[in-house]
Amino acid sequence: MLTVILAVTMTVPDLSAVERAYGDYLGYRVVERGQLSADLAGLWNAPALAGHDYLLMQPESGAPVYLRVVRQDAVPGFEAMKTWGWNSNEILVQDTYAIHEKLKDSPFRIIGEPRGLSMNPEIVAMQALGPAQELIYLTRIPEGKSLFNLGSAQSFVDRTFIVVLGGPDMDAMRRFYGEILGMPTTDPAPSTISVLSKAYGLPADTQFQLGIVRFPANFLIELDGYPEQATARPQRPGELPPGMSMVSFGIRDLDAVTAEFIAPLRRIEQAPYSGRRAGVIRGAAGELIELVEQD
């Protein structure tokens, strides 16, 4: 049922810090700025955010996959990778080693050095935390080297191509995306995830269950089984979850969705909706999933 990733939404206390970081170092440009309408805040069941400033940013390539940044005060107790929900945004780049050098003196904090994947050393990824404690992967995939037809960067730093969901119950996450949203999923397999091991103070060779939700092309969702120390994400009433709050996906038919929407469906005029219907559901790990009907 899901066709594309349209946007990654994150909440931050300082929009200008994110605009500078992603603009100056990753080449993202602001394509829209303003205040959240009551309609959009209502769609998200986040009425307290009506009137809050937001930015919509787009990669240098012009790909219609956006970063949406909403001003919201920091939530005490929130730490990157310590709670269930959306935890990482993976972005295509042309040269991981070059972006690593560029980020050494930047608002991003490098937490994972560039490293080739064990299954394919030509695919090189690094990890960093952004100014809102958001985790980003920056990954080079040479032309024709992706197992899942994910594409390659068309600019120095390009679009989101993977979003990572962490949760306590791998089977529940797989059932949700497989049965409720009709997506093909892989059997989970034990994998080492270095940034998770570091975040929880676990041995480097700790194994986590990892599964994949496949798209027709260009995108996928990674499902990570989080350790038992992880908890539900703290969230104030009427707001969005802190950090990486929500992921927006294209969908062919909203009326085919059997999950309960958190608020009535609405047509939203601004980008990236362009007058199309949208609704938001919660997944098995408590994550917010925004669904935008495609033509």
Place of tokens 């027709």: 216
Q: What is the pLDDT of residues 175-228, one digit of tens each?
A: 999 999 999 999 999 999 999 999 999 999 999 999 999 999 999 999 999 999
Residue at 124 is within a domain: yes
Residue at 120 is within a domain: yes
Give 10-residue mean pLDDT values along the chain (295 residues). Answer: 97 96 98 96 98 98 98 93 96 97 96 86 94 92 88 97 98 97 96 93 95 96 97 97 97 96 96 95 98 92
Distance CA 182, CA 254 (A): 13
Provide the domain limits for residue 114.
85-225
Residue at 210 is within a domain: yes
How many structural domains is the chain composed of? 1
Percentage of the chain lying above the pLDDT 70 cut = 100
Residue at 135 is within a domain: yes
Please say whether the beta carbons of 28 and 15 come within 8 A: no
Distance CA 182, CA 155 (A): 32
Coil vs helix vs strand at 98:
helix
Residue at 256 is within a domain: no
The mean pLDDT of the chain is: 95
Residue at 1 is within a domain: no
Residue at 244 is within a domain: no
Residue at 176 is within a domain: yes
Q: What is the CATH number of the domain that holds 144?
A: 3.10.180.10
Q: Find how far residue 148's CA is from the centre of its chain.
A: 18
